[in-house]
Amino acid sequence: MQLGRVVGRATATIKHPTLSGWRLIIVQPLDAQRAPDGEPQLAIDPVGSRQGDDVLVTSDGAALREMVGANNTPLRWAVIGLPDS
């Protein structure tokens, strides 16, 4: 689990079947001081976050496979919650 900030959204006219119906966002991972930590990542967003929101993301493969209901998803990140300030 890692803290991140929503910096945008992604739109795809053609995407992997396991991503169909999911909202795709771009998340900038943050460190403990809330400074950027690495490159922005593509994530699915089941919680409805908005640009500028801080989010909790996970790269746990088992959790992602369970969320999308498939074992062959190319997905790496998913939003799992919104932290309290």
Domain that holds residue 24: 2-81
User: Domain count of the chain?
Assistant: 1
Q: Tell me the CATH number at 29.
A: 2.40.50.220
pLDDT tens, per residue, the chain with 85 residues: 999 999 999 998 899 999 999 999 999 999 999 999 999 999 999 999 999 999 999 999 999 999 999 999 999 999 999 998 6
Helix or strand holding residue 65 (H, E): helix 61-68
Instruction: Give which of 13, 5, 15 is closest to 41, Cα–Cα.
Output: 5
3-state SS class at 20 = coil
Structure tokens at 35: 């400074």
